[in-house]
Structure 1
Amino acid sequence: MAKSKVETVFFDIDGTLLGLKSKSVPDSTIEALSILKSKGTRIIVSTGRSYEHAKFLAEHGFDGFITFNGSYCVDSTGESFFRHTIDVNEIQSLHDHLTGFDKFPVGVMTTEGSFISDITDDVSAIFKLLKLDAPPPQDFSHALKSEVLQLNLFVDEDKETHILTNILKNCVASRWCPQFIDVNAKGISKQIGMEQFFNRYGLSAETSMAFGDGGNDIEMLKTAGIGVAMGNAGDNVKSVADFVTGTTEEDGIWNALKHYELI
């Protein structure tokens, strides 16, 4: 394999840096990150998670964090340099729907913190699976007084289509977990987050690489000069990738970086 010119590598968290089964970062990935850093390659987290639920990875020397699927970008010092919130009219529309027509749990991520409208057994199971603490429960009406960066709607695909078509008309959704969708302002994606870092550090998409496994990673993999899908990715993700590697537990990140002669 001819050696590739890569200056920046973006990494999803769940199912990529963290194994779906192990819920930990493999030793091979930790070593690979260290080698990339030693060669001057920038490494950046790109996730649907909040910064609070992602910053535990800072110990591995990441140069920044794309969080909330591109709505909130943070540099290596923890300072935010980009944020994009959902229009309050969209929040009002969802509030009216939840109050008058339907009720399902909604996670609300704001510039001040996160909460969830209802903690059901399904919600508890998801947070347990992800090894995360569930945010405190609050009535969804609190979102009307907040700057909302992202919503998590615990709905199936049929209800997702209805809500995006009729309620949250100026939002986009992505699904990396069967039980819920991430909802962001229309136009927001991990690609937007990548562009913030390209501009900030004078980098380019052509000299970047990205690893991911979920639907919210598709735009990121398409944008990067080299897009790598993990072995556990769905066919829709693998179809847009330049290379398909193994799962996290199969040393997928290490093997892909070796394949491209970056380590």
Structure 2
Amino acid sequence: MNWRPRLVALDIDGTLTPVGSNDISPAVKAAITRVTEHGTMVVLCTGRSLIGTTPIAAQLPAALALCSNGAVWWDPAKDEITKRTTFDPGPTIKTLQALLPGAVFAVEQTGVGNLSLGHFLPGDLWGVTTDATFDEIADIPTPRLVMRWLDRTPAELSFAVKDLELPGIEWSVDHTEPWLTAVPPNVTKGTALDELSKELGISAEDALAIGDGSNDVEMLKWAGLGVAMGQAPAHVHAVADVVGPTVVEDGAAQVLSRFFPA
């Protein structure tokens, strides 16, 4: 294949690392290094908050990180937030509380951690977690609201929200945990990449994206070549141009090596 992307967009959890881990394999690190050595821009595109993205960026030569599903743009080289889009989480929390009894919520405090309404499981949240009341977090503009439905399965959550309407935000559910992420309206990994690529003068046709989750769907549809990881659910496979190997097989490294061989 003669085509070589000018921009490579990479999800983190389930793509570069096992979900929730900061461990990137040597093969994946080497492949991403080769991408940058060829002059192609690497962009981390993740549902993680900025503080959760920091330990990943520290291991990679990424040019930019689109965190919180595109709501927070961060330049790792300058350690500078270049864009931050927020929304008021109160109405969304109220709707979800009524539908999902027992759910717990956290709003992102960018670069610090989270304000939490209820107690999450150990390891769920990055950074410092501070307990708060509904009134304390409802009107705080945030780029990212997360919810875990305690003692439920991902399938139960997906079924419970199948007809849910949440106006004024973009939201997605996780396929590995009973977890929902909400960000401001019209913000997705795909819209963020579209805006960024236009600023850089790079067309979507010249972009490669790799991901595995529901929050990667718009990114995979946007890119000239969208690659779903092997373990991704069927609806993610369905929108991808190609289905690659799994994360445990260093699938991202295998895909990148097709265009940036050792």
Tell me the equivalent position of 1:70. Answer: 70
Cα deviation, residue 169, structure 1: 2.0
Equivalent pair of 1:5/1:207 in contact (CA under 8 Å): yes
Match of 1:17 in 2: 16
Residues of 1 paired with 2:135 and 2:102: CA distance?
Answer: 13
For 2:171, the aligned partner's letter is A
Match for residue 241 of structure 1? 240
Shift of 1:215: 0.4
Structure 1 contact 71–184 (Cα < 8 Å) conserved: yes
- Does residue 173 (structure 1) correspond to residue 171 (structure 2)? The answer is yes
C-alpha distance after superposition, 1:58-93 (max 9, x if no partner): 23111011111111111232222222212x3x5246
Deviations 1:115-172 (A, max 9, x none): 22111xxx31562xx8x5672322232223421111112242344346x42xx32222
Structure 2: distance between partners of 1:178 and 1:71: 22
Q: Which TM-score applies when normalising by structure 2?
A: 0.85
State how 1:57-206 maps to structure 2 within 5 Å: 57-59=56-58, 60-76=60-76, 77-86=78-87, 88=88, 91-92=90-91, 94-95=93-94, 98=97, 102=101, 104-111=103-110, 113=112, 114-119=114-119, 123-124=120-121, 127=124, 132=126, 135-155=129-149, 156-161=157-162, 164-165=164-165, 168-176=166-174, 177-206=176-205
| RMSD (CA atoms) | 2.6
Shift of 1:210: 0.6
Query: Is the Cα–Cα contact under 8 Å of residues 32 and 254 in structure 1 kept in the other structure?
Result: yes
1:50 corresponding residue in structure 2: 49
Structure 1 residue runs without a partner (length 5+): none
Shift of 1:107: 1.5
User: Distance in 2 between the 1:245 and 1:67 partners?
Assistant: 24
Contact 2:221 2:239 in 1 (8 A): yes
Range moving further from structure 2, 140-149 or 246-255: 140-149
* 7 and 51 in structure 1: CA distance in 2 versus 1, 3 angstrom threshold: same
Percent identity reads: 25
Q: How many residues align?
A: 251
SS in 1 for 2:65: strand
Code of the aligned partner of 2:80: E
CA distance in 2, matches of 1:36, 1:231: 21
Deviation at 1:23, TM superposition (A): 5.5
Equivalents in 2 of 1:65, 1:22: separation in Å?
17
